[in-house]
């Protein structure tokens, strides 16, 4: 559904991404893995329309596209959870949930927000993720880090029509919530959506991923199908190969 | 606003309390401030409560209030407009010049000045969005430029620094009905501008809280980047807000020119701060993303009452600014004490 | 092409040191005042100076700043430009002393206008044209007293403006029972409301002195609205005030004839440069407060409209 | 070294923490575990002097204390890595590193920053964590999320004298970097520091922790010594007990 | 600043380039703007480049520049001071009243007004920190209050709106040497205020970049919460910054009163914006945490050159504000184009 070919992006003099190719198919989860600063967020920001690529091609359903704003990406059915979350702290939870896709009732100049629907859908969507909020009218800024993350995820899941992109969705989450998110990812996949998942936790990536794109310092280290790689190998690759062995050894020593 | 969420008793909530829920509204501080000022001057100044007195301070608050509401919306959207004050003079000048010097019908002159106002608003917005410069600076530029234009053009065309003679222009009476008539209530004449103010505040409040555009306004002010990321048309929203402010300036300019029948080129300078003050007293955050239109209207009311109250109390007007400064600080402090509790935001 | 001989020591009185350096040629005069041309009063001064410049073929630059320090800088600026003549209003003589003396030292003939009459000769100016605002205020106060008024409200529309304070102080010394009210000229609604409130709060006020024609128009409306019987007098004219004088709503308008304060100095400088003439032997030239009332309003109205009265 | 007794904290009408007791000993790692919004960050903010407790006692070396600012906590040797990181985005990396504890040279009015030392120490400290920055003069705002996290951790490790508090330090980190942080924690412990570690990852907590404080909805679920609990039991407790089983079952099903 | 980091060649960096490294400095935009304005007026206006002309616009820039530098430091620290403009008049008035009305020695009067200034600065800072209100509002309150006090006290004591007669006060001459003398360079008198300006900018630049206090200034402006969390004394730093601004206002007030020997009660109003403009032209962010003292000094220079240059060019003063507005926008735009590249910050 989405295909990127030798895509590249520079910020000023910083080359954040170079020659990266991958594909996102419907009903599959593409995991993007890599070190800190490897360019993962940059890649998904291009897919989400936040940034534009400088080089390479970005194909959506076979046609070359270049989103000039996230609105366009959303209109094409691509919903995203950003690493920095993209919530407006001072706005209430339900308004954040619906931001940019507000439900309305009425006609012409009397068209107004459907606030009842907004509140109720939000409450339900969050409750399904195991987050029970005291009040969906409370500002998002008063939520804990994990609660905020859940709001952003619930929103993307709710509005993602064709592709769902998640940038480190489980980073701030508790064990239970992380489990819920992974279940969501699996459900979205089963509904036929293409999913892009970024994570640093191989234990999260491996169970749900179908394809693993490994990035390092802005370049692709290779793309693996699930069948081609074991979780151990994946972990090793994510940690930069040989270096890890020394570390593991050390950590094991540390465990007394 | 009827909050339809059932209060489940959650053991993590200490005590809900009606008081706490009331106090959450951004306007509450302003409302209490207004009450305090009202009671104070009612006691201190004899004529303050007379029908004429009330009509007087309501009138003063009205033109300030119309602008304060528009400026509040813009501030909630995260931007400033320092050109708002001179704009009220510019629109009046454009109307007056077309009506008296070119000889157009007043209605047509009003239309032209509306187009002019919306144009300036759009330019302000476009410049801010296009260049990425803070609106404080960009509108400071337009503020200076408009100030120069007002004087330069007026002197060029009339040889003096004011345009007068509106009363003899075609259509003055009918246009005056709309913008500058008075309404007799119980023997006292109330200016129609008070109606405009109430109307403008009501529409703005409805738009802010109940419509999609209002939602976007809060969003772009709260975090423009995040809003953009979730698909809010940030540029369009902000430009519309600048144009709304210009539109309000057009209303106020029209009220002024039709009521006074003349306009001076250096009018309006410095008023932009009064608008901002009123909006802030009304609960708007300077940083954007939080505030209320009703609050700004009440802020203007406080301002109007204080300003006229000082006159009614016959205090020495040399110290006027001192009183105003202290009053402002006091009102904002009262206000803040309440808002602190309201804004349960992580700091 | 009349390049006259270099007159090195003219027999001019008033202890004027500067010498007319060249006859003929184009004359460049800088007019530096404390009132911006956005002010209705000073607008007329500017028009006067420019009209004289046009008629005499002189180049006139009008510059103004209400801040004395900034006004001094504008004078310094004119000195650096080596203008042929300098016209200065001295609302604050102390602050301008050094700059004016520098101009005189640099050989630039200086004429002071409007205010600062007392220090004019001391600083080395050729002459002084105009009349202090205090005298104009006194004139207004006297006339109001003659009209049988007992309590006057003097409306200052720009707080801290020295000229306006002098007008009110003048009115006070001639009239007696005067209170001042500060309003904001930039906000006509507020100005009107405050006047309304003031006459309402103190019903004994039976006269209002406005210092600007637009404030006067607002005052007329305000007084009507407050149901007070006070009458308005004002400085300066505009169409509304003319109509109001005709209708009897405004008692009179003080006309300082400030057009002359702009016009005459240019003529004097021209004469001084071309012919080493001085006028009145360095004694001040008084432009005198005139009064516009029902009797002469018809004559003066058309000039007010042109921005020369 | 640090002991809190039945400590409690409310934000307005929100009770974030109630009746929580624990102890931090020198040379030991106390892990605070719990759901999102359980009050973990609130607890450590009290220890760090950012907030003050409303109830209970906070003892440092046996004396009851109440820090009115983080400065006081720092002066008592307590260094903290906050969940929201506490970096100044517009300032350069090395200035952020030394912020609040700037090295100076010179005397009296000529006392000035020792910039060379600042830059070099920063570079070294970060390099030791496996982060090689292009330039320590670049603003922190231009770093990736993980890089920023490393700056905050390196800073706390460098300045922590007696107690080191880490609020989800590994959340945004890659596998390698997370390993490094855990090694740091172990090293700090071995140097005799008391460490408080918050994490959602039982695989991170178990190897290094000596004591596990479990929070749920602001209350303590109990405090366990390492000997008293297995990693499976810990995971189960963190996820809220029985509920997890259903989820695990589901996730396993999802893995096909 | 010698950057001691060796440029390791990293494959993730495209091209370092001397240009890119130069362009990173916040002042560079202002410097280029200043150059542009300088060249423009040198060509357009004849006397602009004459020694007298240079002395003139340097003088104009100097008092503005002293304040701009202080305001820039405050802005970097994340706060505004709208009372800075009137403060220059207040300090001058205090000095003048003590010297001429009370009859104190000028030096002693200066000392008293310094104490007064530092007091007002401390109150500003304390109010801002204590109440958590935005400094924009708090200092607007002090701005109004000081404005009222200036007028009220002056009229109360002298009966007019100005205090004069400094020249006959004790110690006028010696104090004048320090604040208001001129220095003859090649036949032209340069005001000593120019030296004060250069000195103030140099010290501020050194403090900002090289000292611990400067580091804290950037930090509290960039993120007060984070700074507090890592142990920066936020309250102390910000109050000191407010006092620095008040101190600068005292210097400028002293320069004014000693040079002009008289002071008007409404002086200084509106200047606060010029300070802010100069600081912003000089590269300061309105949101705090970024900027430069040298840049602000250059911003003041641009302002001074443009303001006097327009006079030298003999443009019609009616349009003065229009020119100024356009000039400001142009300068800020040039500036911004460069800064965009400099500030490689995530947006
Ligand atoms: N706006 C920007 N300006 C300059 N450099 C940037 C910008 N955004 C990112 N970078 C740089 O680009 C590189 C890639 O950043 P990116 O955020 O894509 O990394 P990431 O893989 O998401 O890392 P993490 O796992 O830590 O989130 C980093 O080195 C970062 O410093
Ligand atoms: N400043 C605040 N105002 C009001 N409520 C707050 C504030 N800070 C935190 N809370 C509330 O207190 C509770 C505990 O928050 P805290 O940040 O301590 O949770 P946490 O355990 O750190 O969660 P996470 O794992 O998601 O970071 C949450 O429900 C949160 O909504
Ligand atoms: Mg990332
Ligand atoms: Mg937390």
pLDDT tens for each residue of C294-307: 888 888 888 888 88
pLDDT greater than 80 at residue A31: yes
pLDDT greater than 60 at residue A251: no
- Determine contact, residues A11/A46, Cβ cutoff 8 Å: no
Query: Residue C110 has what pLDDT?
Result: 94
Query: Residue C3 has what pLDDT?
Result: 32
pLDDT greater than 70 at residue C207: yes
Query: Residue B338 has what pLDDT?
Result: 65
Question: What is the DSSP code string of E101-164?
Answer: II---HHHHHHHHHHHHHHHHHHHHHHHHHH---HHHHHHHHHHHHHHHHHHHHHHHHSSSEEE
Contact E228 D70 (CB under 8 A): yes
Looking at CA atoms only, how far is residue E12 from chain A in angstroms? Answer: 5
Q: Is E262 exposed, middle or buried (0-12, 13-18, 19+ CB in 10 A)?
A: buried
Tens digit of each residue's pLDDT (9 = 90 or more) over C129-158: 988 788 889 999 999 999 999 999 999 988
- Determine contact, residues C50/C60, Cβ cutoff 8 Å: yes
Tally Cβ neighbours within 10 Å of residue E194. Answer: 18
Query: Is the pLDDT higher at A176 or at C67?
Result: C67
Query: Is the pLDDT higher at B306 or at E327?
Result: B306
Secondary structure (H, E, C), C135-200: HHHHHHHHHHHHCCCCCEEEEECCCCCHHHHHHHHHHHHHHCCEEEEECCCCCHHHHHHHHHHHHH
Tens digit of each residue's pLDDT (9 = 90 or more) over D4-54: 888 899 887 778 888 889 889 998 999 998 877 788 888 989 999 989 998
Kindly list the protein residues whose Cβ atom lies closer than 6 A to any atom of ligand 2. Answer: A 142-147, 172; B 344, 346; D 11, 14, 16, 34, 36-42, 83
Mutate to test the interface with A, among E12, E20, E338 (most CBs of A within 10 A): E12
Query: Residue B21 has what pLDDT?
Result: 57
- Nearest alpha-carbon partner for C186 in C29, C305, C16, C36: C36
What percent of chain B stands above pLDDT 70? 89
Tens digit of each residue's pLDDT (9 = 90 or more) over A203-246: 788 888 888 998 888 888 888 888 888 877 877 777 665 454 55
Please state the rounded mean pLDDT for residues B128-153.
90
Chain D residues close to E225, C-beta within 8 Å: 86
Contact C73 E59 (CB under 8 A): yes
Tens digit of each residue's pLDDT (9 = 90 or more) over C213-259: 888 988 998 898 888 889 999 988 888 888 889 988 899 999 888 89
Closest residue of A to D39, CA-based?
Answer: A144
Contact E225 B328 (CB under 8 A): no
**DSSP H or E segment with residue E316:** none
CATH number at residue B59: 1.10.3470
- Nearest alpha-carbon partner for C115 in C101, C141, C95, C85: C95
- Determine contact, residues B332/E124, Cβ cutoff 8 Å: no
The count of CB pairs under 8 A between chains A and E is 23
- Determine contact, residues D198/D167, Cβ cutoff 8 Å: yes
Q: State how far the Cα of E300 lies from the Cα of E314, in Å rounded to an integer.
A: 21
| 3-state class (DSSP) for residue D163 | strand
Tens digit of each residue's pLDDT (9 = 90 or more) over A65-87: 888 888 888 888 898 888 776 78
Residue A195 Cβ inside 6 Å of ligand 1? The answer reads no
Contact C97 E261 (CB under 8 A): yes
Question: Chains touching chain A at 3 or more Cβ pairs under 8 angstroms?
Answer: B, D, E
- Nearest alpha-carbon partner for E229 in D162, D28, A140, B346: B346
Query: Residue C302 has what pLDDT?
Result: 85
Residue range(s) defining the domain that contains residue A108: 2-255
- Determine contact, residues B230/A70, Cβ cutoff 8 Å: yes
Q: Within an 8 Å CB–CB cutoff, is residue B287 touching chain A?
A: no
| Rounded distance from Cα A36 to ligand 1 centre (Å) | 8
Closest residue of C to B89, CA-based?
Answer: C186
Tens digit of each residue's pLDDT (9 = 90 or more) over A172-201: 777 777 887 888 888 888 888 899 999 887
Q: Within an 8 Å CB–CB cutoff, is residue C161 touching chain E?
A: yes
Contact B12 D11 (CB under 8 A): no
Q: Which two tokens stand for residue E210?
A: 């090289």
Least confident span in A4-18, B17-31, B171-185, D118-132: B17-31
Mutate to test the interface with E, among A10, A12, A51, A86 (most CBs of E within 10 A): A12
What length is written for chain B?
347
The count of CB pairs under 8 A between chains A and B is 103
What percent of chain E stands above pLDDT 90? 50
Tens digit of each residue's pLDDT (9 = 90 or more) over C275-285: 888 887 778 88
Looking at CA atoms only, how far is residue C57 from chain B in angstroms? Answer: 20
Return the ligand 1 atom nearest residue A45 CA: 18
CATH number at residue D209: 3.40.50.300
Q: Within an 8 Å CB–CB cutoff, is residue E17 touching chain D?
A: no
- Determine contact, residues B70/B84, Cβ cutoff 8 Å: yes
Question: What is the DSSP code string of A160-221?
Answer: -SSEEEEESTTTT--HHHHHHHHHHHHHHHHTT-EEEEE-S-HHHHHHH-SEEEEEETTEEE
pTM (2 d.p.):
0.86
- Determine contact, residues C287/C256, Cβ cutoff 8 Å: yes
> Residue B215 contacts by C-beta under 8 Å, 6 or more apart in sequence?
A91, A95, A98, A99, A102, A113
Quick check: is E247 in a domain? yes
Q: State how far the Cα of E64 lies from the Cα of E66, in Å rounded to an integer.
A: 6
pLDDT greater than 50 at residue E126: yes
Partnered with residue E164 across adjacent β-strands are: E262
| 3-state class (DSSP) for residue C235 | strand
Q: State how far the Cα of E114 lies from the Cα of C103, in Å rounded to an integer.
A: 34
Q: Within an 8 Å CB–CB cutoff, is residue E272 touching chain C?
A: no
Total structural domains within chain A: 1
Tally Cβ neighbours within 10 Å of residue E38. Answer: 18
Exposure on the CB side of residue E66, measured as CA atoms within 13 A: 29
| 3-state class (DSSP) for residue C30 | strand
Sign of the four-CA dihedral A205, A206, A209, A210: positive
Total structural domains within chain E: 1
Residue E15 Cβ inside 6 Å of ligand 1? The answer reads no
Contact E219 D141 (CB under 8 A): no
Pocket probe mutation, ligand 2, options D39, D82, D238, max atoms within 8 Å of Cβ = D39
Tell how strand A163-167 and strand A194-198 pair up.
parallel
- Determine contact, residues C192/B261, Cβ cutoff 8 Å: no
Quick check: is B231 in a domain? yes
Query: Residue C11 has what pLDDT?
Result: 36
Residue range(s) defining the domain that contains residue B119: 30-336
- Determine contact, residues E137/B280, Cβ cutoff 8 Å: yes
What length is written for chain C?
309
pLDDT greater than 80 at residue B166: yes
Query: Residue C16 has what pLDDT?
Result: 41
Please state the rounded mean pLDDT for residues D174-178.
78
Tally Cβ neighbours within 10 Å of residue B9. Answer: 6
CA C271 to chain centre: 23
**∠ CA A170-A175-A176 to the nearest 5 degrees?**
100
Question: What is the DSSP code string of B196-214?
Answer: HHHHHHHHHHHHHHHSHHH
Q: Which two tokens stand for residue E144?
A: 């109004």
| Rounded distance from Cα E81 to ligand 1 centre (Å) | 37
DSSP H helices, chain B, are: 18-22, 28-44, 51-76, 84-96, 106-131, 135-158, 172-180, 192-210, 212-222, 224-229, 234-260, 271-281, 293-312, 320-342
Identity of the residue in D13, D217, D218 whose CB atom sits nearest the CB atom of B16 = D13
Burial C135-155 (b: 16+ CB within 10 A, else e): bbbbbbbebbbeeebebbbbb
For residue D78, which phi and psi values (nearest 5 degrees)?
A: -100, 115
Residue A41 Cβ inside 6 Å of ligand 1? The answer reads yes
For the CA atoms of B229, B230, B235, B238, what is the dihedral angle to 10 degrees? -120
Q: Which two tokens stand for residue B317?
A: 């007007």
């Amino acid at each position: 559904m989405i295909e990127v070919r030798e895509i590249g992006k520079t910020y000023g003099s910083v080359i954040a991404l170079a020659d990266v190719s991958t594909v996102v198919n419907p009903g599959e989860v593409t995991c993007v893995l890599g070190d800190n600063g490897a360019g993962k967020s940059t890649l998904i920001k291009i897919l989400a329309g936040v940034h534009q690529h400088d080089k390479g091609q970005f194909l959506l359903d076979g046609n070359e596209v270049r989103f000039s704003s996230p609105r366009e990406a959303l209109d094409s059915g691509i919903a995203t959870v950003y690493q920095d979350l993209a919530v407006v702290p001072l706005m209430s939870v339900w308004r954040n949930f619906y931001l940019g896709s507000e439900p309305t009732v009425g006609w012409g100049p009397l068209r107004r927000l459907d606030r009842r629907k907004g509140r109720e859908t939000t409450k339900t969507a969050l409750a399904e993720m195991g987050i029970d909020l005291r009040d969906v009218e409370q500002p998002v800024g008063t939520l804990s880090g994990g609660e905020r993350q859940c709001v952003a995820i619930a929103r993307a899941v709710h509005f993602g029509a064709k592709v769902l992109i998640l940038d480190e969705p489980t980073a701030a989450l508790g064990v239970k919530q992380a489990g819920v998110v992974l279940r969501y990812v699996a459900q979205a996949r089963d509904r036929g959506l293409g999913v892009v998942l970024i994570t640093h936790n191989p234990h999260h990536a491996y169970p749900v991923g179908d394809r693993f794109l490994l990035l390092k310092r802005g370049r692709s280290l290779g793309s693996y199908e699930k069948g081609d790689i074991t979780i151990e190998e994946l972990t090793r690759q994510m940690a930069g190969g040989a270096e890890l062995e020394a570390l593991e050894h050390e950590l094991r020593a540390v465990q007394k | 606003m009827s909050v339809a969420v059932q209060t489940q008793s959650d053991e993590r909530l200490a005590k809900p309390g009606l008081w706490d829920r009331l106090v959450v509204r951004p306007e509450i501080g302003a409302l209490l401030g207004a009450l305090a000022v009202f009671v104070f001057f009612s006691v201190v100044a004899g004529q303050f409560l007379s029908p004429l007195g009330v009509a007087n301070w309501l009138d003063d608050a009205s033109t300030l209030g119309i602008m304060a509401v528009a400026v509040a919306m813009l501030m909630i959207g995260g931007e400033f407009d320092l050109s708002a004050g001179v704009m009220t003079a510019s629109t009046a000048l454009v109307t007056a010049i077309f009506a008296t010097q070119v000889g157009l019908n007043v209605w047509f002159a009003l239309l032209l000045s509306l187009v002019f106002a919306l144009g300036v608003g759009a330019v302000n917005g476009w410049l801010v969005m296009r260049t990425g410069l803070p609106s404080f600076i960009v509108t400071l530029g337009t503020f200076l430029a408009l100030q120069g234009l007002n004087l330069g053009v007026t002197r060029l065309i009339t040889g003096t620094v004011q345009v007068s003679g509106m009363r003899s222009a075609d259509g003055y009476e009918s246009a005056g009905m709309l913008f500058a008539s008075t309404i007799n209530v119980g023997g006292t004449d109330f200016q129609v501008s008070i109606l405009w103010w109430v109307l403008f505040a009501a529409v703005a409040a409805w738009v802010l809280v109940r419509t999609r555009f209002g939602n976007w306004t809060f969003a772009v002010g709260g975090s423009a980047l995040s809003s953009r990321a979730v698909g809010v048309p940030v540029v369009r929203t902000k430009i519309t807000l600048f144009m709304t402010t210009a539109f309000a300036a057009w209303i106020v300019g029209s009220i002024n020119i039709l009521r006074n029948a003349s306009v001076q080129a250096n009018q309006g300078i410095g008023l932009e701060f009064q608008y901002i003050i009123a909006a802030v007293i009304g609960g708007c955050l300077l940083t954007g993303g939080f505030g209320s239109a009703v609050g700004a209207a009440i802020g203007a009311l406080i301002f109007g009452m204080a300003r006229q109250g000082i006159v009614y109390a016959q205090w020495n007007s040399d110290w006027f600014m001192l009183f105003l400064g202290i009053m402002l600080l006091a009102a904002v402090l009262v206000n803040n004490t309440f808002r602190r509790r309201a804004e349960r935001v992580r700091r | 092409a009349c390049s006259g001989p270099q007159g090195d020591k003219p027999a001019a009185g008033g202890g004027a040191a500067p010498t007319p350096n060249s006859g003929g040629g184009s004359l460049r005069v800088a007019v530096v005042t404390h009132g911006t041309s956005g002010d209705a009063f000073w607008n007329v001064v500017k028009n006067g100076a420019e009209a004289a410049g046009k008629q005499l073929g002189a180049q006139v630059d009008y510059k103004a700043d209400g801040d004395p320090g900034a006004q001094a800088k504008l004078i310094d600026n004119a000195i650096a430009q080596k203008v042929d003549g300098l016209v200065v209003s001295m609302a604050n003589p102390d602050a301008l002393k050094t700059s004016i003396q520098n101009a005189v030292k640099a050989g630039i003939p200086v004429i002071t206008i409007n205010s600062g009459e007392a220090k004019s000769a001391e600083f080395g100016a050729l002459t002084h044209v105009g009349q202090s605002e205090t005298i104009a205020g006194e004139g207004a106060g006297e006339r109001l007293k003659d009209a049988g008024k007992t309590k006057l409200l003097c409306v200052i529309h720009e707080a801290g403006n020295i000229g306006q304070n002098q007008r009110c102080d003048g009115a006070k010394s001639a009239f007696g029972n005067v209170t001042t009210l500060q309003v904001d000229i930039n906000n006509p609604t507020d100005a009107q409301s405050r006047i309304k409130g003031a006459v309402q709060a103190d019903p004994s006020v039976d006269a209002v002195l406005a210092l600007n024609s637009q404030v006067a128009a607002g005052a007329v409306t305000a007084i009507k609205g407050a149901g007070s019987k006070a009458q308005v007098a004002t400085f300066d004219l505009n169409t509304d005030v003319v109509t109001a004088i005709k209708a009897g709503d405004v008692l009179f308008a003080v006309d300082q004839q400030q057009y002359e304060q702009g016009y005459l100095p240019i003529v004097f400088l021209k004469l001084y440069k071309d012919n080493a003439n001085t006028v009145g032997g360095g004694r001040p030239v008084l432009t005198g407060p005139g009064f516009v009332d029902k009797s002469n309003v018809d004559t003066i109205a058309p000039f007010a409209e042109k921005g020369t009265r």
